Amino acid sequence: MGRALSAALDAAGVRVSGPHGRGFDGAAADAVLLCVPDGQIAAAAASVAPGPLVGHCSGATGLDVLAPHEAFALHPLMTITRRGGDFSGAGAAVAGSSEPALGFATGLARVLGMRPFEVADADRAAYHAGAAMASNFLIALESAAERVAGVDRELLAPLIRAAVETWVAEGDAALTGPIARGDEATVARHREAIAERAPELLAMYDALAEATREVARRAASGALDAASPAAAAPPLAAAPPAGAARPGATSPTAPEVPA
């Protein structure tokens, strides 16, 4: 994450030094962004001398681990792989221990082309759990699907992309397939095939089938609600919060402490 953010910030015209190694003290920096494993954040923050803003990139961790520094958090809602990552258009969960710190995190996200949104400390673990389900668990699910189907994953890719894009547009109403149609006979044949080909995946299939039935129930309920007169009421709109950038804070530093 540290190298990817440093490269993206540099490309956006932000003066950056680093990534730095273990024990970096933040000398001459306006802000220090710690891109380290969650368990190392507190130790890395303790190495930074008082003065600069200190932030982390953890999705699940609050700001308390950065005390006593004026603190911020910037968690790109984007997977970063060995090949790097593109932050443009991604969401960014931001937080700050003060208005200037929050404004700095918000400004940093916008410089990178991300869409900042606030997540309170009390909600960060649940937020990150959802992000892991959306990304990490999806890989585990598609790996299982490839094994069961017995076809190359490149053949499954168009189906996966279409399902995700339709879910983005329609939510629960995007659900298709035998469970959405109430075709439990086909579900039973699925179970027989999985029990024969990959029995260790049967519990996963059963758990996901039950979760899918719940989605189908919600989708059916939503369709009924949409047909009611109350659904014609205009939606409420909320303006996004404004954040003022910290005066003079033009040099975020992204140290990376090796494990």
User: pTM of the entire structure?
Assistant: 0.80
Segments in 1-98 forming alpha helices (H): 2-11, 41-46
Lowest average pLDDT, out of 14-28, 53-67, 172-186, goes to 14-28
Amino acid found at 211: A
- Is 90 exceeded by the pLDDT of residue 92? yes
| 196-201 mean pLDDT | 97
3-state helix, strand, coil in the chain (%, to 5): 55, 10, 35
Q: In the sheet that 71-77 helps form, which strands lie side by side, from edge to edge?
A: 115-118, 91-96, 71-77, 53-56, 31-34, 252-253
- The residues near 68 (Cβ < 8 Å, ≥ 6 apart) are 50
Amino acid 160: pLDDT:
97
Domains with residue ranges and CATH for the chain: 2-122+244-253 (3.40.50.720), 126-228 (1.10.1040.20)
pLDDT confidence band for 147 (50 / 70 / 90) = very high
| 110-135 mean pLDDT | 96
Amino acid 185: pLDDT:
98
Amino acid 225: pLDDT:
58
**How many angstroms separate the CA atoms of 257 and 259, rounded?**
6
